[in-house]
Chain A
Amino acid sequence: MRRRRSTPAEKPIEVAIIGGGCASIATAFELTRPAHKGRYHVTIYQLGWRLGGKGASGRGPAGRIQEHGLHVWLGFYENAFRLLRECYAELGLTPGTSRFSDWRDAFVPDSHIGMADCSSEGDWLTWTALFPPGEGLPGDPLTTHNPFSISSYCARMVDLLRTLLLGVETRTTRGSQAYEGAEPASPPTDEGISRDTSPEALAASMLRLLRYGVLATTAGLIEGLSILEVMFKAAPASPQNVLVRFLETLAASIRSQCEAVVASDDEIRCKWEIIDLVVAILVGAVRFGLLYDPRGLDAINEYECREWLRMNGASERSLNSAFVRGLYDLALAYEDGDPRRPRLAAGQALRGSLRMFFTYRGSLFWKMRAGMGDVVFAPYYEVLKKRGVSFQFFHRLEHVKLSDPAALAPDERPYVEELRFDVQARIRGGGEYRPLVEIRGTPCWPSNPDYPQLVNGPRLRRERWDFESHWDRRKVDTRTLRVTRDFDFVVLGVSIGVIPFVCQEILAQDPRWRTMVDRVKTVASQSFQIWMREDMAELGWSEPPVTLSGFAKPFDTWADMGQCVPEENWKVPPKSVAYFCGALPDPAVEPVRTDVGYPSRRYEEVRRNAIAFLNEQVHHLWPKAVSGPGRFRWELLVDPHERASSRPSHQADETRFASQYWRANVNPTDRYVLALPGSLQHRISPLDNTYDNLTISGDWTDCGFNEGCVEAAVMSGRLAAHAISQSPPLEDIIGYDHP
């Protein structure tokens, strides 16, 4: 590929990027690579005072990290990690000058995945599995071999079976016993055999091993039979019809037999459910011809994931298992936020699961050591500033104006003629807003604007202008950008929830866009963070730090984020930090834009949800965090406004929760995009050039991995950069070409 060198006399191509989330930042990073030699000048127009979109975070009182939600990077985020690693390398920080001089300083591997489920006795049961380190690290060059081959996935499925059969640990909590100080049963040895040599214990060990034996033997058998079965089925005019019927009957019989065996043992049941699902995937992949279908896994995106697994033999028990529920929870895959309507496109769900479990490198999960804003968006901001990127904060996009169709030449495609913004605040002195603050030597994003930099800043603060609220439309000015005068290309990097409000002209004339907006739905989310005086062991959690899903609604996902505490600025640091999140049901009637009180009402709703959750549910995870049924120990919470020496009395009540942090992510910009069955084909690609100076960017686009996450956003951002500059090559966007 030849690269074109800009001459000093040639003005750079002006690119206006709207929005400052992961996708937009990735686009900016690609377009301003040194290899382009200044060919593109990028300006990012951002609502409010901070970058990050759904990945934004801020520093609150005591420098505590306040996230938009729970963010964990997965070990298969090849594009996201690769760009971030390049960003850190370019930033050139040294350990002596920065706490995060290297990306490895900013991320910690987390190999424990946890799921919560109801036990056979009706209690909550949590299990954690250690996933062994994957070779290499995410973002390493793939110099030897494309990882997305069928053989690779099959091999990894075998590995998963081995991991599950030999590596799962189970922990049952008995809520009624826990705060009575009941001792757990004597633990088994690493080989599953109790050291207790009494006849009863030995008999119990034997029974357990026999159950395992049935499980292990049968799992292997079913795996073999399933492969055999589908191979026969795929063969044209197979003379083996009788054998096929025999095998189907046999497989069903064995499944039935195992169902009976595992029903009485929670640990074996957990393993069996996952094995059953893996077998169903193997069977379905071949039965549906996915190995050869040119559409790859997209061929089954019309099916709901559970429906498709059921069609391929997965048992009802497995379909309702913690594992499956956990996958839905991690993807917030509840239409309209309704927990009774879990919906996830089968093909994308399978693609996501295959990528998640079989192509991770280093660790299954990677947790950030500080806020996502601090370790991701602040470094990007600094690198992009060095590269000459301009940032226009406090710009809220209001309208994308298209060219007059009547004025187009015969061979000319429609294009964006104007971008109209509301200016939310002006910067004193007319310069560029400086958004970062330092906490313990690390550049961070604050939770609020730096009002002294703003014209009439004290008044804006006094009047509580909410710069990130969709319903707060106050502005100090308007601004219109025009094509050829202010920009050449536009990258629309806003959330899809914003499109109906800013792209009315496009929606009026373009049925593809209308269908996309109609079918690609989003969901609101709710989250809260609590800082506590006791560590997890003192609270009764005896497992390693974990990211756990499948737990009680509405906060079904929990992550122990204790690794962040040293980066905060407490005089007496809390001993533990926990983040919870889940979907937030939408109201029956969508609020109108003039309903300025809507966010506050939802915020209050989340507060009540969190208090009820802590009182009623959290003891299943932390049995010692309650003083009795329905009584969370509110004195555990650390109030950043209290003096370090003061300790709350044991009579502290739920009002103490007000000192913690919670969010109702109801803004269109905040809503999480869903991968509903039958919707993904309606997404539009960043490569689409219907409007020849406009490209879209975000995890809601057709970006190859069509599910809301950082990786999808970065892939989309790279695609948008490719649409403008033809760089990076599509083959370089890892996982874009994928079955």
Chain B
Amino acid sequence: MTTPKRSHEPRSGDRGHVMAERKRLRRPDPARTGPIRDGAHYLRDSQSWGSAAPQAEGAASNGSGPGETMEDVVTQGVKLGYKVIDEYLRQGQRVAERLCRAANGTGDDSHKQRDGNGNLESSVDDLLDRVRRSYKDLGGEMEDMLERTIHLYKDMWAVWMDGVELVLRSPLFVSGFAGTENGYRHPPPRDGSSRADASSTPPPIVEISSKRPARVALRLTPRSGPFEPRVHALHAADPAIRPLTEVSVRLEPDTVVPIVQVRIPDDQPPGTYTGAVVDRESNAPQGTLSVSVLS
């Protein structure tokens, strides 16, 4: 601790009383006189709370958890989007059921089919078309709303998903956030170097988790040097088919061999799904990964 300095010059005003013998004290020069606003510098754990600090009465974490990255946040946003839409669809389905029952004058729901999970199989379009047919004579805003909703589902949601995916792939996005102190860091190689050595980096291994047979084709550009691979979602040719999104990469602890893991949901439509293999650090494309799901 810096001690307040005492002036060596006696002051004319110093006189008598309690503090007569004391020389004037000076405040120590401050290390700084303003807050740090720069996001690159203010990220730090608060570790200076001493023993006098109150004890936490609950979980003390605040906001996102340690190590959470912007990517995690955006992913959470995407999941939220799905959750909201799911909630909307669920309510829409429930109302549609009741509308249909009301239209039929019965509680009959034999027209519905359920899959193994108990979910209604009706597609959004089918559902909305049925509702629209049932209530087409309502006209006015109802019709308008139906059109808006169908339009949004068919066209806009796909754009949104593509947009988020583009963001996730953006080099700016990656470089802008991956370097923050709290950002997720790929585990470094055991030799301590920041990147795997070119001559010692074997090509990635692809692991498929699927109940159905699948074919894998990994094509890397010939000039590819060492890199830590990253694979985003694998898309089918038809944009209406949902992509394979459960693609992850891990490093084999002993050999530092990158292992690309792809999980294929049980209800994934057959077809060929393709995505880019990129360098995790630069996001530069390094090749393609194709997975053909057989029927």
Chain A interface residues toward B at CB < 8 A: 1-4, 11, 13-14, 33, 35, 82, 85-86, 89, 134-137, 139-156, 158, 161-162, 165-166, 191-193, 197, 199, 202-203, 205-207, 209-214, 216-221, 223-225, 227-228, 231, 234-235, 247, 250, 254, 257, 261, 264, 291-298, 358-359, 361-362, 403-404, 407, 409, 412-413, 415, 417-418, 482-486, 488-489, 685, 687-689, 692-693, 695, 702, 704, 723-732, 734, 736-739
**Does B191 interact with chain A (Cβ within 8 Å)?**
no
Query: Across the interface, which residues of B come within 8 angstroms of A211, CB to CB?
Result: 145
**CB-based contact B9/A146 at 8 Å:** no
**CB-based contact A485/B19 at 8 Å:** yes
**CB-based contact A484/B19 at 8 Å:** yes
**CB-based contact B135/A203 at 8 Å:** yes
**CB-based contact B9/A412 at 8 Å:** yes
**Does B102 interact with chain A (Cβ within 8 Å)?**
yes
A141 and B159 alpha carbons, distance in the complex (Å): 43
A482 and B44 alpha carbons, distance in the complex (Å): 43
A590 and B222 alpha carbons, distance in the complex (Å): 80
Chain B interface residues toward A at CB < 8 A: 1-4, 7, 9, 11-20, 22-50, 52-66, 68-70, 72-74, 76-77, 80-81, 83-85, 87-88, 91-92, 94-95, 98-99, 102, 131, 135, 138, 141-142, 145-146, 148-149, 152-153, 156-157, 159-161, 163-164, 166-167, 170, 172-173, 176-177, 180, 182
Whole-angstrom distance from the CB of B140 to the nearest CB of chain A? 9
Residue of B nearest to A139 (CB): B54
Whole-angstrom distance from the CB of A594 to the nearest CB of chain B? 32
Whole-angstrom distance from the CB of A230 to the nearest CB of chain B? 10
Whole-angstrom distance from the CB of A446 to the nearest CB of chain B? 30
A139 and B49 alpha carbons, distance in the complex (Å): 11
A731 and B47 alpha carbons, distance in the complex (Å): 8
**CB-based contact A693/B24 at 8 Å:** yes
Given A136-B62, A142-B60, A221-B157, answer yes or no on A35-B27 (Cβ-Cβ < 8 Å).
Answer: no
**CB-based contact B60/A135 at 8 Å:** yes
Query: Across the interface, which residues of B come within 8 angstroms of A149, CB to CB?
Result: 39, 43, 63-64, 180, 182
**CB-based contact B77/A485 at 8 Å:** no
- Knowing that A136-B57, A221-B160 touch, tell me 7 more A-B residue pairs with CB under 8 angstroms: A35-B50, A154-B77, A206-B135, A221-B159, A224-B163, A488-B25, A737-B41
Query: Across the interface, which residues of A come within 8 angstroms of B146, CB to CB?
Result: 210
**CB-based contact B88/A216 at 8 Å:** yes
Residue of A nearest to B18 (CB): A485
A250 and B152 alpha carbons, distance in the complex (Å): 12
Given A162-B80, A221-B156, answer yes or no on A206-B131 (Cβ-Cβ < 8 Å).
Answer: yes
A417 and B24 alpha carbons, distance in the complex (Å): 10
List 16 interface pairs A-B (beta carbons < 8 Å), by A numbering.
A141-B56, A143-B56, A144-B45, A146-B46, A149-B64, A151-B69, A162-B80, A210-B148, A217-B153, A221-B160, A231-B167, A294-B37, A483-B11, A486-B19, A488-B25, A724-B4
Given A136-B57, A228-B167, A739-B42, answer yes or no on A692-B94 (Cβ-Cβ < 8 Å).
Answer: no
Query: Across the interface, which residues of A come within 8 angstroms of B45, CB to CB?
Result: 142-146
A361 and B153 alpha carbons, distance in the complex (Å): 37
**CB-based contact B172/A484 at 8 Å:** no
Given A297-B37, A485-B17, answer yes or no on A210-B60 (Cβ-Cβ < 8 Å).
Answer: no
**CB-based contact B73/A217 at 8 Å:** no
Number of A-B contacts (CB under 8 A): 362
Whole-angstrom distance from the CB of A465 to the nearest CB of chain B? 30
Query: Across the interface, which residues of B come within 8 angstroms of A212, CB to CB?
Result: 88, 91
**CB-based contact A135/B58 at 8 Å:** yes
Residue of A nearest to B69 (CB): A151
Given A140-B56, A217-B157, answer yes or no on A484-B30 (Cβ-Cβ < 8 Å).
Answer: no
Which of A158, A202, A296 is in CB contact (< 8 Å) with B37?
A: A296
- From B2, B66, B167, residue with most partner A Cβ within 10 Å: B167
Which of B33, B57, B80 is in CB contact (< 8 Å) with A158?
A: B80
Query: Across the interface, which residues of B come within 8 angstroms of A223, CB to CB?
Result: 77, 81
**CB-based contact B63/A152 at 8 Å:** yes
**CB-based contact B42/A737 at 8 Å:** yes
A153 and B76 alpha carbons, distance in the complex (Å): 13
- From A154, A417, A695, residue with most partner B Cβ within 10 Å: A154
A162 and B172 alpha carbons, distance in the complex (Å): 27
Given A140-B58, A726-B2, answer yes or no on A203-B138 (Cβ-Cβ < 8 Å).
Answer: yes
Query: Across the interface, which residues of A come within 8 angstroms of B63, CB to CB?
Result: 145, 147, 149, 151-153, 155-156, 358-359
**CB-based contact B88/A213 at 8 Å:** yes
A247 and B140 alpha carbons, distance in the complex (Å): 30
Given A199-B102, A689-B29, A689-B30, answer yes or no on A145-B1 (Cβ-Cβ < 8 Å).
Answer: no
Given A137-B58, A151-B182, A227-B74, answer yes or no on A692-B26 (Cβ-Cβ < 8 Å).
Answer: yes
Residue of A nearest to B170 (CB): A231
Return the 8 tightest CB-CB contacts between A and B, nearest first.
A152-B63, A296-B37, A147-B62, A210-B145, A220-B81, A294-B38, A228-B163, A140-B56
Residue of A nearest to B173 (CB): A231
Query: Across the interface, which residues of A come within 8 angstroms of B156, CB to CB?
Result: 217-218, 221, 254
Which of A136, A162, A219, A489 is in CB contact (< 8 Å) with B56?
A: A136
Whole-angstrom distance from the CB of B146 to the nearest CB of chain A? 7
A117 and B152 alpha carbons, distance in the complex (Å): 30
- From A35, A86, A221, A254, residue with most partner B Cβ within 10 Å: A221
Which of A85, A484, A738 is in CB contact (< 8 Å) with B11?
A: A484
Query: Across the interface, which residues of B come within 8 angstroms of A293, CB to CB?
Result: 37-38
Residue of B nearest to A351 (CB): B37
Query: Across the interface, which residues of A come within 8 angstroms of B159, CB to CB?
Result: 221, 225, 250
**CB-based contact B1/A217 at 8 Å:** no
**CB-based contact A4/B3 at 8 Å:** yes
Given A291-B176, A731-B48, A734-B46, answer yes or no on A141-B54 (Cβ-Cβ < 8 Å).
Answer: yes
Given A141-B53, A214-B145, A216-B85, answer yes or no on A415-B24 (Cβ-Cβ < 8 Å).
Answer: yes
Whole-angstrom distance from the CB of B96 to the nearest CB of chain A? 8
Whole-angstrom distance from the CB of B222 to the nearest CB of chain A? 26
Whole-angstrom distance from the CB of B229 to the nearest CB of chain A? 23
Whole-angstrom distance from the CB of B178 to the nearest CB of chain A? 11
Given A86-B54, A151-B70, answer yes or no on A298-B30 (Cβ-Cβ < 8 Å).
Answer: no
A512 and B166 alpha carbons, distance in the complex (Å): 49
Query: Across the interface, which residues of B come within 8 angstroms of A199, CB to CB?
Result: 102
Residue of A nearest to B42 (CB): A737
Which of B18, B54, B160, B172 is in CB contact (< 8 Å) with A89?
A: B54
Which of B19, B23, B148 is in CB contact (< 8 Å) with A11?
A: B19
Query: Across the interface, which residues of A come within 8 angstroms of B31, CB to CB?
Result: 730
Query: Across the interface, which residues of A come within 8 angstroms of B13, CB to CB?
Result: 403, 417-418, 482-485
Which of B49, B65, B141, B170 is in CB contact (< 8 Å) with A141?
A: B49
**CB-based contact B102/A202 at 8 Å:** yes
Residue of A nearest to B9 (CB): A409
